[in-house]
Structure 1
Amino acid sequence: MPIPPMRGSKASAYECNNASEVSLVSLLRGIANLPARSASSRTNNHSARAVATRWVAALRKDYSPLPRGTTATVLRLLFPEEDTPRKYDLQEARLASYLGGCLDSSTVFTRDTRKLKSWSKESFFGCLGEELLKFAVPGTEGNVGPKSLQEVDALLDELAATSQFSDKFFHAAYPSPRSKTIILRVLYDSLPATDAAYLTQIILKDLRPLLYAPPTTSTSHVLLDYNTRSKQVLTKEQFMTLWDPSKILLQMYRVRARLDEAAMSFEAGGTLVQARPRCGVPIEIPKSAKGRCPQHALELLDSCDRIWAETKYDGERAQIHVNYSSDGEMSISIFSKSKRDSTLDRAAVHPIIKEALSAMPPQPIILDAEMVAFSEERDAIDEFWRIRGLIARSAQGPRSNIISGKGEQAHDSHSLDTCPSLHSNCSSESSDGLHLALVFFDVLLVGYASFLNVPYAMRRSVLESAVREIPGRAFIAKRELISSGPETSIENASQRLREVWAQKIVDCEEGLVLKAGESVYGDWKLPWVKLKKDYVPGHGDTIDLVIVAAGWDKDRARELRVPPSILTTFYVGALGNSSQMKANPDVKPHYVVYFTASYGLTREQLEEFNFWMRSDSVDSQEELGVLPYTYSMLRTLPKPSVFVTSPILVELCGAGFTKSPQCKYYELRFPRITKTFRPSERSFMECLTLRELQTVAYAAVGREAQDANEYGDIEEWSRRLWGKENEVQSDEKQVKRMHSRDEWEHKLQTEDLRRRNGKRKREEVEMSP
C-alpha cells in the first residue's frame, strides 16, 4: 500500500522507484520486526518511534509535497482503532468467512483459503491476519501491492457505507454501495500476503497482534522474561509529532478529536487556522490522575491557588454539542467517552437538554455532562447499571435493537449446565419512577469562543449561568472548597478533603474529582485528580470467591502481549447451595458462575497461577460430569478453555458492585484478583455463599439487607429488598452512618500518615481516562 507520487498522480507502485521503502506496509513491517527486549535489559536501541521517524523522512524526501488528504489517510490506516466514523460490521469469524470466498481466485494465496470459512470453529483464538499468512504462495510475501493508500482508503470508505453504524457522510457519499463481498474482493485482488494480513487487521481495527506480537509461545518465557515495555508502542500522539514537529496537528486533534477533521484542519493552513472546537466534532477527553490518598492528591496540585472537590457521579460520559439552524431550530449531538456518536441512543435526554438551556440565547455550546439514572421514589441518583435498561427503552436508530436485546448478541453465547434463574434481564426489576437525568460539570464552547484555555473557575461560573437546573432531570455537579489558597496549609486541606471524601463514601457516591481553580481543560501541569476508595491501596470492596474455570481473552491478552496458550481470564463463582449441603453432606457443592476477572495478578503471579491451574484442569470439551462440584454459568459469558478439578479460593477487590445484562445478581465492578490461596492455606469451601455476596453488595450500594435470612429463596429476598425504602432514617441507622464516616476518616488519615512518614512508596502518577 504505497503512497502515490507527488502532485496527486495515480501512478501505481510499480512506477515508483522507492515505493517499497515508503509503503505503509514497510512501516508496519519495520515495527513488527523490531526485537523485543527482555525485562532485565536496560537498553533499547530500537524503537517503533525511531522506525516511524525514518519512514516519515523517506516519505517526505521522495514524495514532497504530499498530495492533499495524505495525512488523514495515513493516520486512519495506521491507527484504525481511532477511526471511529467508519464501521464495517466485521469481526474475526465473519470476515474470515468472507475472505474464504474472496481469495479463491487469488494468485498469491493457495486454494486452501476456503478453510477460512470455518476458521472460527477450528481456531477460535488468535489473529486472523497472521492466519492469512499461512495460505500465502511461497515467495510472494514481500511483493509490493498495486494499490495506493488512497485507493485502499476509498474502498474502505465504500465498505463503511455498507454498515448502518457508520457516519452518515459515508451513506451520502455512497448511496448505493456494492456488496461487502464485491468490495472485499476488489480490496484483496492481487494484494500480497503481507499487505493482506495488515489490511485484515485494519478492517478489524486492531493492528496490535501483528505489530506487537508475543516474542515467544512459551508461557513461562513470555511472562517472566518480557513485559509490556519490551516493545514500545507507537502512539498516535508520538506519530502526530513526528509528522508535524510544530505540534499543530496534535493541537488540532485535542480540539477536534477525529483523525480526518484534525488532518483536514492541519493541511488547510496549519498556523493560519486556529485550533477551535466545532459543534458536531468530539473534543478529546483529558485523562485524570489517580489520587492514592488525600495527601497524594493534594501534592499533585501543590502549585495552584484554590482547589475544589467535585462529586464524581456514577454514570455515562456525555459530551453534548448544541447548535442552531438559521431559523432557530436546536440541533443536538452527543458523544460518548469513546468518541462514538450516541445521539440517537440517548434520545431520552434531548428534551432535558432543551429545557436546561432554554434561558440561553440561541448560540452554539458544548457541555460536559454525566448521564445518570434517577429514582423519583428515593429522590436520588440510582445505580449505574440501571442506565442500561433505561436506554434500552428509549434508544432510537440502528443501535436500538442491539441495546434492547432484540437483535443478535455481539458475541457468541454458550450454555454450560446453565441455570435459567440467572437469565432474567435485570432491567425487568421494577423501574417505575426511574428515568435518565444529566449532571453538567463543564462548558467547552459558547458561541464561537473556545473555553478550553479558560480557567476552571471561570468555566464553572459560565456553566452555572448557562444551565438551568431541573429537579430530578438536570443538575450541576456539587462541589466543596478544599483549599482557599496559600493561606490554607496542606494539613488543613488534607483534613477537609478527608471529611468530604469520607462522607461521599458513606453516601455511596462513586468518588470525587479535584480541580484547581486556575487549571485549563486538559491541563497537564494541574490535572484533574480522581479519588475513589478502590484507588487507596487495600480499601476497595474485597470478597473471597472461587475460580472454577479460565480462558484466553483477546483484548486482555493483547494488552499483556501473550499468546493463546496463556490463561488470562478467570471465571468467578459463589457457593449457591450451602443450605442443601448442611442438610445433606453427600450433596456436591454447586457454584453460580456469572462474572470473570482478568486483572490484579503480576506477570510472575499469572505465570504461577497458569501452571497451578493447568496441572489440575480438564478441557472444557471433555466430559465434565467427573468434577466434584456442579455449576451454573451465565449464558452470555464466553466459553472457557479449561475447568479446574478443585476450585481455587481467591481474594477479589473491586470498585463497588454492579449487575451485568441478563443477570439479576450483584457482581464486583472492575474485579481484580489480589490473593490466591492454595488448598493447604485455605479451603475453597470458605468462599462466600451467593446470599452472603448479595448481602455484602446491598450494603455497599446503600440498600438494607438485614432481613436476608428471613427468606429461604434468594429470588424472593431480592424482590423484597427492592421495595420502597423508608423516607425517614432511624436513629440507629444515623448512628451507624456517622460511625462509618468516622472510620473512613481514620483510614484516610492513616494513609496520609504513611505517606508523610515515607512508609508508602512514592509511585509514579497513574493517569486514567
Structure 2
Amino acid sequence: MPFRFSHLCQLLESLEEIERHDPPLLRDARRDKVQKTVVAWFRVHRRTIEAPGTDRVALLSSLFPERRTDRVYLLQAPRLSQAIARGLELRSDKLATLDRFKSPGNGDLGDCLARVLKVHDAEPRLGYVSVEEVDAVLQDIASKVRFSSPTVCARKSLSNDSPGHLLAVIIRRLKSFEAKWLVRMILKDYAPVVLDQQHVLRCFHFLLPALLKFQDTFEAAMHLIKGPLAEFPSNPDPRSQVIFRKQAAGLLRPQIGVKVGRPSFHKAHSLKDCLRTVGSRKWAIERKYDGEYCEIHVDLAKGQDCIQIFSKSGKDSTQDRQGVHGSIREALRSFLGTDADSQVHEHEHLMIVYFDVLMVDEDITMRQPHKERRDRLRDLIAKKRGRAMTAEWKVVDFAQVTAERTLVEQFACALYDRCEGLILKLSDAPYFPLDNTGEWRGFVKLKADYMIDMGNDRDVADFAVVGGSYDAQQALKTGLQNISWTTFHLGCLVNKEAVLRFQAKPSFRVVEVIHQEHCIPKPDLEALNRLGKLRQETDNLHREFDLCPVRYPIPPMGVVFRRPFVVEVLGSGYVKPPNQDFFMLRHPRVIKLHLDLNGFDKPIVKATDTGVAPGSVYSATSNLG
C-alpha cells in the first residue's frame, strides 16, 4: 500500500519540537535525541517502506526535496502564497493571515498556512494523502517549467491545471500541520529541521549513502537496490554490513547518463591543519582553478547528441554549457572524430580543464588509484591552448622532510597564477571507496580564504551596511528569537570627497547582499538586529542618503540604516559584476562587525583600489573543471 504523507509529517513535526525545545537542548543532547527519533521512526515503518506498493523514490524525494535539483517549480514563498490563496479561494481575512510570513515574528509561509487551516482540522477527510500523490503533483508542476531537467520535462502530464489548483486539491485533504510541511517541501527547505542526510540514508538502507556516491540520483540508487543488490537486507548487523559492502562493491558499475557523486572535502584552515590531515602518505597536489565544476558523459551511441553535462548540484546543464561542446569534441577527437564548433568572438570563449576520468568503455577507472587515473586521462585528452587542458598536478610524499616546503611553494605558485588554491588527493586511493572501510579517503581543499594563518594576504575589504531585509525561511535557520533582518545590503560611498569637504548628502551604490546562512557569524547577526532597530528608516528609504540603482538582480531592502554599519568582509578573489565598472569580492562573508566606524567614509571599490589591473580577473575566459 502507498506510504501515508502523514507518517512523514509526524517525523518532521517531532524533529521540529526537538529543535524548538524551550529551553534549548545542548548540541550533543539534541543530536542524540534527533538520531534516536529517526531510528525509531524507521523501525516502526520499516515494513511499509519496503512493501511492494511503496514508491521509495517518492519517499526519498519527500525526505530530501533539496536533492531534487532536476525539478524546478518557480514557486518561491511570495508566488507560492499567491498560488495557494487562489487555489483555496481564501477570503481577505485569511489571506492577510497567510501573508504575515513577510513580517518578522510570524514564522514562515508554512506556519501561516497552518494557522489558516487549523480551524478545519476537526472536519472529516476523504481518505488519506500518500507520499506518492504528493510526489506526482510536484512532478506535474515541475514538468511544465522549462528550467527543469529534460527528463522531468519529458514526463509531462495531460493536466492543464494551474499549480495553485493542483496544490489546493491536496491541501484540502491535509491537516494544518501536514500542509505546513508540504509548503516547506515545495520550497525545498524544512528549516528549522535539518535532517542528517548520512544518518537518515543509512537508516533507509545501509548501502544507500555509498550508492548515492556511485550513482547520484534516487532513481538509480533504488534501481540497484531492487536489482543486483536485492538479496541484501536493508538493516543488517554491523559485522554483516562489512561483508555485504565488499560483496556489493564488485556488483556495481557506473551508468552513462547518471551523475556520479563527489568525494567528501576537508577544508584546511591552516597549513598545519592540512599537514595534520594528510599524515605521512603520498598525495597528489592538484591546482584548483577558478570556474564551475561539471561532470561530462559521452555516449557515442547517441550520435551528435552524445555529450551530456551535469553541474555540481546534479542538474543536467548540457544546454547551458553549449559553449564548451566544441572544446570537448576536439579534446576527445580521437574518439569522436569531429571538428570543434566555431565561436562568434575569438577573444571570448570558455575553456575546460579536465582533472579526472571515472569510466572508459567497460573499464571502471574510478576504482583505480589516482595516479593510474591521471595516466589514463593524459592518454585520452588532446590539449589545445586556451581551449582544453588537464589540471596541473604533482605527487608529494609527506613522509619526506621537504614535503612542507614543497606544499608551501606549490600553494604560492598557484595563487601567483591566479588559481583558487590546491586540491590534495591520495595518490593510491580510488575516486571514493565503495566498500566503505571506515578510513577517510576524501580530498583536502586548500584555499587562501579558508586559512586563518594567511593574515593580510586574504581578500578582505570593509563595506557599509546600508540596509536590511527579511526572509522567513532564513529566519528559521538562525535559531534566534524575534529576528528582524536576515539579509543585509552592502554599499560603497561614491561621493566621499563631497561628503568630507562640503557635507554633501552621502550617495551609496549597493554592490552586494549577504544572507545570514553561513555568511554572517551569529554574534554579529544578533548585534546587527539589535542595534539596527535604533538606526532603521522604513517610511522614506532615501531620506538620509541616495542609493544608486544597479543593473543586476539584488533583492529589495525593507529598511535603510540612517547611520550605516561597517563590516569586514572576506572573499575568494575579486570579480567584476555584469555591466558594472567596479570589482566585488567573490563569495563574500562577514568576518567582523566594526562598531567603532561609520559607513560614510567607505568609497566604492574600483579595479585600481584592489591592486588588480582592469580585465585581468578572468574577464575573458571562464574555466570549467
Same fold (TM over 0.5): yes
Matching residue's letter, 1:201:
R
Please state if 1:332 is matched with 2:307.
yes
Distance 1:241 1:121 in 2: 37
Matching residue's letter, 1:74:
L
Secondary structure of the structure 1 residue equivalent to 2:607: helix
Residue of structure 1 in register with 2:217 after alignment:
258
Query: Are 1:594 and 1:633, in contact at CA under 8 Å, matched by a contact in 2?
Result: no
Query: Offset of 1:564 from its aligned partner?
Result: 6.9
Secondary structure of the structure 1 residue equivalent to 2:333: coil
Residue of structure 2 in register with 1:695 after alignment:
608
Please state if 1:133 is matched with 2:122.
no
Matching residue's letter, 1:286:
P
Distance 2:32 2:440 in 1: 30
Secondary structure of the structure 2 residue equivalent to 1:52: helix
Instruction: State the Cα deviation string for residues 310-345 of structure 1 (Å, max 9, x = none).
Output: 11110011100111217x656111011111110001
Distance 1:535 1:87 in 2: 32
Query: Are 1:161 and 1:171, in contact at CA under 8 Å, matched by a contact in 2?
Result: yes
Please state if 1:200 is matched with 2:110.
no
Residue of structure 2 in register with 1:742 after alignment:
none
Aligned length: 583
Distance 2:381 2:583 in 1: 35
Secondary structure of the structure 2 residue equivalent to 1:663: coil
Alignment of 1:442-453 (within 5 A): 442-453=356-367
Q: Taking every aligned residue pair, what percent have the same amino acid on both sides?
A: 27
> Structure 2 residue aligned with 1:533, among 448, 453, 468?
448
Distance 1:52 1:695 in 2: 55
Distance 1:41 1:504 in 2: 39
Instruction: State the Cα deviation string for residues 734-768 of structure 1 (Å, max 9, x = none).
Output: xxxxxxxxxxxxxxxxxxxxxxxxxxxxxxxxxxx
Query: Are 2:59 and 2:132, in contact at CA under 8 Å, matched by a contact in 1?
Result: no
Residue of structure 1 in register with 2:11 after alignment:
27
Larger Rg, first or second structure (1 or 2): 1
Matching residue's letter, 2:320:
D
| Runs of 4+, deviation exceeding 4 Å | 39-42, 109-126, 141-145, 553-556, 700-704
Distance 2:446 2:262 in 1: 18
Query: Offset of 1:68 from its aligned partner?
Result: 5.2
Query: Offset of 1:354 from its aligned partner?
Result: 1.5
> Structure 1 residue aligned with 2:524, among 605, 616, 625?
605
Residue of structure 1 in register with 2:355 after alignment:
441
Instruction: State the Cα deviation string for residues 631-688 of structure 1 (Å, max 9, x = none).
Output: 324362212232222122332222111133453321111222233233xx4454443x
Residue of structure 2 in register with 1:154 after alignment:
136
Distance 2:286 2:554 in 1: 36
Please state if 1:241 is matched with 2:202.
yes
Matching residue's letter, 2:189:
D
Query: Offset of 1:262 from its aligned partner?
Result: 1.1
Distance 2:451 2:324 in 1: 34
Residue of structure 2 in register with 1:302 after alignment:
279
Please state if 1:578 is matched with 2:496.
yes
Distance 2:273 2:330 in 1: 40
Query: Offset of 1:275 from its aligned partner?
Result: 3.0
CA 1:179/1:615 → structure 2, altered by over 3 Å: closer, same or farther? same
Alignment of 1:414-563 (within 5 A): 433-481=347-395, 483-484=396-397, 486=399, 488-489=400-401, 492-522=402-432, 525-537=440-452, 538=455, 539-553=457-471, 556-562=474-480
CA 1:39/1:540 → structure 2, altered by over 3 Å: closer, same or farther? farther
CA 1:556/1:510 → structure 2, altered by over 3 Å: closer, same or farther? farther
CA 1:623/1:677 → structure 2, altered by over 3 Å: closer, same or farther? same
Secondary structure of the structure 2 residue equivalent to 1:300: helix
CA 1:554/1:256 → structure 2, altered by over 3 Å: closer, same or farther? farther
Distance 2:502 2:96 in 1: 51
Please state if 1:50 is matched with 2:36.
yes
Residue of structure 1 in register with 2:227 after alignment:
268
Distance 1:558 1:675 in 2: 23
| Comparing 640-649 and 311-320, the one that deviates more | 640-649
| Comparing 67-76 and 452-461, the one that deviates more | 67-76
Please state if 1:346 is matched with 2:321.
yes
Query: Offset of 1:187 from its aligned partner?
Result: 2.6
Distance 2:613 2:568 in 1: 17
Query: Are 2:104 and 2:484, in contact at CA under 8 Å, matched by a contact in 1?
Result: no
CA 1:643/1:27 → structure 2, altered by over 3 Å: closer, same or farther? same
Matching residue's letter, 1:444:
L
Distance 1:596 1:75 in 2: 33
Matching residue's letter, 2:10:
S
Query: Offset of 1:442 from its aligned partner?
Result: 0.5
Distance 1:143 1:450 in 2: 56
CA 1:567/1:463 → structure 2, altered by over 3 Å: closer, same or farther? same
CA 1:485/1:572 → structure 2, altered by over 3 Å: closer, same or farther? closer
CA 1:60/1:300 → structure 2, altered by over 3 Å: closer, same or farther? same
Structure 1: 5+ residue stretches without partners: 6-12, 14-18, 213-232, 363-392, 395-430, 705-720, 724-769
CA 1:71/1:125 → structure 2, altered by over 3 Å: closer, same or farther? same
> Structure 2 residue aligned with 1:4, among 2, 5, 17?
2
Distance 1:351 1:516 in 2: 32
Distance 1:122 1:605 in 2: 21
Residue of structure 1 in register with 2:585 after alignment:
668
Secondary structure of the structure 2 residue equivalent to 1:158: helix
Query: Are 2:286 and 2:393, in contact at CA under 8 Å, matched by a contact in 1?
Result: yes
Please state if 1:281 is matched with 2:240.
no
Residue of structure 1 in register with 2:61 after alignment:
76
Matching residue's letter, 2:181:
Y
- Over the aligned positions, Cα root-mean-square deviation in angstroms equals 3.4
CA 1:510/1:556 → structure 2, altered by over 3 Å: closer, same or farther? farther
Matching residue's letter, 1:319:
E
Alignment of 1:203-242 (within 5 A): 203-209=186-192, 212=193, 233-242=194-203
Alignment of 1:572-721 (within 5 A): 572-581=490-499, 584-598=501-515, 601-619=520-538, 622-627=539-544, 629-634=545-550, 636-678=553-595, 681-687=596-602, 689-690=603-604, 693-699=606-612, 703=616
Please state if 1:322 is matched with 2:294.
no
CA 1:111/1:78 → structure 2, altered by over 3 Å: closer, same or farther? farther
CA 1:694/1:330 → structure 2, altered by over 3 Å: closer, same or farther? closer
Query: Offset of 1:579 from its aligned partner?
Result: 3.7
Distance 2:155 2:28 in 1: 51
Distance 1:578 1:722 in 2: 28
Instruction: State the Cα deviation string for residues 170-191 of structure 1 (Å, max 9, x = none).
Output: 4444353332244334333433
Matching residue's letter, 2:446:
L
Instruction: State the Cα deviation string for residues 256-285 of structure 1 (Å, max 9, x = none).
Output: 111122122212242667332211111112
TM-score scaled by length of structure 2: 0.84
Matching residue's letter, 2:195:
L
Matching residue's letter, 2:408:
R
Distance 1:161 1:25 in 2: 25
Query: Offset of 1:117 from its aligned partner?
Result: 8.7
Matching residue's letter, 1:239:
V
CA 1:97/1:556 → structure 2, altered by over 3 Å: closer, same or farther? closer
Please state if 1:358 is matched with 2:271.
no
Distance 1:527 1:64 in 2: 32
Distance 1:608 1:123 in 2: 16
CA 1:673/1:433 → structure 2, altered by over 3 Å: closer, same or farther? same
Distance 1:159 1:703 in 2: 43
Query: Are 1:52 and 1:239, in contact at CA under 8 Å, matched by a contact in 2?
Result: yes
CA 1:183/1:597 → structure 2, altered by over 3 Å: closer, same or farther? closer
